[in-house]
Copies of this chain bind each other. A is one copy, B any other.
């Protein structure tokens, strides 16, 4: 589905020609002294700042399905999921490297589409592409991205900083990316059964976008800074809210209580989940890929976020012995289950 009408074999360019060709339109905007083209890239670290590094791998058939994932969106998403990790440290991403392994089934045009998406993300988030490697593979497409960012030490938000009685906050809404995935998988099955049936995606633009074109919450980092809020701990929601709560609690040596009614779920997520007989709360708890930010704040910062549309205060931090719980809409207390998606 991703093949264009014209097809150029990648082998016609060679490895060095390919990298040069794909990266020629990328401009350097940050503290990058030397980008693609030498043995290594060179960065001038900002004085008094820490360097923050994150890396992620996207594998065809495991993390994405090219029968409905456009190459441009895939390139964009591969960058975004890495930047999200840098923002989750309360840091600012500055550079990325992108390595690709791909089989001969991929044409140059397909890889150009992928790089168009990578470039869009670089422009939107103001990061520099500084290096990478390309290789053939026996089967499929694999994208490895490393993101490098900066922050002052006192701004850094680790997973380990949550303290008893602090408030648990999440940005945006949850469960949408998972429902978008379910919708795309459903339409794929329908299409495979009968290719003449057009996909029925009407009214579900939002959840499809959550899956195919997620954004990293750069804006949230800026809002927190403007509100003068230093998160005591933070991480991004890539594997589902429940799983992330467990990570945060374990790293901080605390327990967490969630309020089901406070978990932000978009109406289209809610409606689609109901259509599929799924529990919308479970989609938020276990769905993953929302790339929202989950963080804890001191009680004194409550009023700054209380009525802010971008944030939901969804729970609070207990002592470790109190464990992990969710208070349901009916007021019952349930043990929280970690059911985050894993790649194995």
Contacts and interface: CB of A to CB of B under 8 A. Distances in A.
Contacts of A61: 137-138
Interface stretch (A82-90, A116-124, A170-178, A323-331): A82-90
Given A41-B53, A133-B57, A135-B63, A18 B88 contact: no
A236 B251 CA distance: 41
Quickly give the copy total for this chain: 2
Interface residues of A, number: 73
A37 B53 CA distance: 12
A119 to B, nearest CB: 18
A146 interface: yes
A54 B40 CA distance: 4
Contact of A344 (B15, B52, B153): B15
Nearest to A51: B43
A162 interface: no
Contact of A39 (B10, B37, B54, B148): B54
A53 B63 contact: no
B131 A99 contact: no
A26 to B, nearest CB: 15
8 contacts: A10-B344, A13-B344, A39-B85, A42-B156, A57-B144, A59-B101, A59-B135, A97-B146
Which 4 pairs of residues, A with B, have the shortest CB-CB distance? A45-B45, A144-B144, A40-B54, A39-B88
